[in-house]
Amino acid sequence: RVEIENLGSTPHRNVYLSKRNIRGKTRLAVTAHGEGEVGVCFKNYLSPSTFQLQMAQNMSRTIGLDIDIGANAVN
């Protein structure tokens, strides 16, 4: 199970986006409430059955992230 969280760097630590159980290619839109840095955090969880199955295998996942800002984000 993959989750994504998008956080603002202001003292209020706004959570702009929080999605769980992301599968496949996904497009998400975020609008920040002010200027500043925005962080993206991915969390990867293994279910007990998956963990048992992959004990002998490489337990890694590749995640691609493309970010568009301003007018480029509209399309």
Chain segment 20-32, per-residue pLDDT in tens? 998 888 888 887 7
Which residues of the chain have a pLDDT value below 70? 50-58, 74-75
SS3 content of the chain, % helix, strand, coil (to 5): 15, 25, 60
Does the predicted TM-score (pTM) go above 0.75?
A: no
Rg (CA), the chain: 15
pLDDT of residue 3: 92
Q: Where are the domains of the chain?
A: 2-73
Q: How far apart are CA 19 and CA 16, in angstroms?
A: 10
